[in-house]
Structure 1
Amino acid sequence: MADIKTEKLSLRFGGTAAVDGVDLAVPEATFFALLGPSGCGKTTLLRLIAGLERPDGGTIRLGGRPVAGAGLFVEPGERCLGMVFQSYALWPHMTVAGNVAFGLNRLSGPDRARRVAEALRSVGLEEFARRRPHELSGGQRQRVALARSLAVRPGLILLDEPLANLDAHLRQSMLAEFRRIHHQSGTTFVFVTHDQSEALSVAGLVGVMNRGRLEQVAPPDQVFRRPATPMVARFVGQGCTLPVEALSTSDGRVIVRLGPRNAEVPGVAGPGPAWLCLRPRDLRLAEGAGDIAARVIGLRFEGGDHVLSALPEGIDAADPLEVRSEMPVALGTLIGLSLKGGWVLPREGAARTVAAAPQPVGA
């Protein structure tokens, strides 16, 4: 098993900082998901950990061993890790067993055969050893790629958008397989994805990247309920942020001014300018004025409900709020919204990275 630690890790492509001074600590045996929008730098960070890119600055340690830094660079083959690519990267002319055995040339014949059998058994493909990749489904090919990584018994497995080419049903079954195999092997997993539902459902620890930087590192429930920055609040869970004034705070509760009204919301902002982070689940239609007055500007039917998009009145909101309703509401209608939840952040100076202990292996 291997932990991961980076300090001030950076890589630029031309004038663009793909990875910008990243400090990261992932304990051993953790299932860590790296989440973020396209182009945020998450795959580049994964490639730096793998040794497929050389950093411009900073250090990387795997299992306590320095593998990149000033005057030091350990090649990928010497880092004791496995990698699963989005494209599977299987040899089409080889059998399933041949693909899994590809990195085991240093073992004797019997040991190699035993290791291949163990790896295929761990992913449920013992009966497919003689087939070739074109005879397999997409999910089966993904399992072969994972078995190939497991066969070398690495301390670390890196997965780069491994489910992107699978349909929704197969993605769910593969997520369950990843959880099972991680729990069984105890290997450290790093799972890169832009799909937040995948990241939050499979990982014990989640990192959210934006523009080459880590915005937050925390267990999935904390990333969802207690975003560290406005970007995390907007990106995870269809959230939005409202600029508000924090009037007072005590015991994790903040009094904020919403137009002519005040409301008490959980948060970490002190008195002064703040962000109120809201998701659709934090709002409901009020019978009267509610906490926020808003005008309906959009309507769609989704998941058995009518979803209203509404712009707050008297608050300079960049994005509309969304709230579910059993009945449709005409465009232009002024409605009242009541708060069921939310989270308040300081408008400036919020911590960029929030570190937290991961959940137990297999959580």
Structure 2
Amino acid sequence: MTLDGAVTGTMPGLEGLERLLDGYRGASAYLIPMTAADGRTMLGNNGDRIMHAVFHRILERLDIRAVAAPAAADVVIVPPNGALLEVYGFPELLAERLRGAEGVPLVIFPSSTLFPTRDPAFMFRGRSAETLWITREKYSFDHLDEQWGLSLADVGVTLALDHDVVASGHEFVPELLGGAGSGGGLLVAGRRDKEAADLRSAGSGSTHGARASGQASARLLARLKKAVPYGPWYTAAVRRARRAQLAAAADRLLGRLPAETRAELEHAGRRRDVDLSAVQYATYDEYRRVLRNADAVVTDRLHVGLPAAILGKRVVLVEAGYHKLQGVYERSLAELPNVELVGAR
């Protein structure tokens, strides 16, 4: 079965998501922990934090209250996340964390997904209650429906299509970021993490040099952690130590832009090269401050570009290697005159 929570307008609102979740208004919910097997958080970047801040505002709007155990819940909720990909370990963890809650309805909040070779139905086998799996863009929806729809239906999964929660809950974003400013120039935020490596560079040839560079960077980061407590001094030290790598990542992004877009952005002011979503380069307060003051943004980070777009910044999204950015742009942002997509697949 499939559902569609689409709404029309310049930007989506919460009407579609509220319609999909109307039966759970006033419910008690067990929120699946977004932690790895060793207890480390899987909400590992600043973009995740803004997404989850919006998510909790949406739960408040629906009067859904969190409880400590599935046995006390009317519904189990998987928060919005970027981890429902075959290359990550979270699908296995989710299957484990659903054990014991087989009779409680399940809702997966809007996320992107990619399971090219493994049937994701394994996560839901043995469940007797309904599952509502909401995607935030059509590529993920079509991928699940066309490739795995029959097996998902066999385990009681209904697929739905809505929007990224930061897009549909955009009314909350200005307050969460502290409003919109200016004078910060051009922010170029190119990701340098596992998702970029696994989904953009796979099959591109030998990775020996990349591994060696990554190991050296990890050693440097470990030394800094011992020498400087985490905070603005720490992130400033890491940005300075990795200035060349950040500039190279920014140059790669800018090199993918059409000539006329690059020429336009030359007038945006001083250029700042930083993967703003990564916590080693920016605290959450720095993320908020730099984002709200930027005059223009070029990024392959969804939750750098999306909040910036909501604040009215000039935003150029650069597709990062699978359908996430393109899908969210086409689904939720294409009508915004201040946003452009480059590198569509």
Give the alignment's TM-score, normalised by structure 1.
0.24
Specify the structure having the higher radius of gyration (Cα).
1
Larger helix percent: 2
Give the alignment's TM-score, normalised by structure 2.
0.25
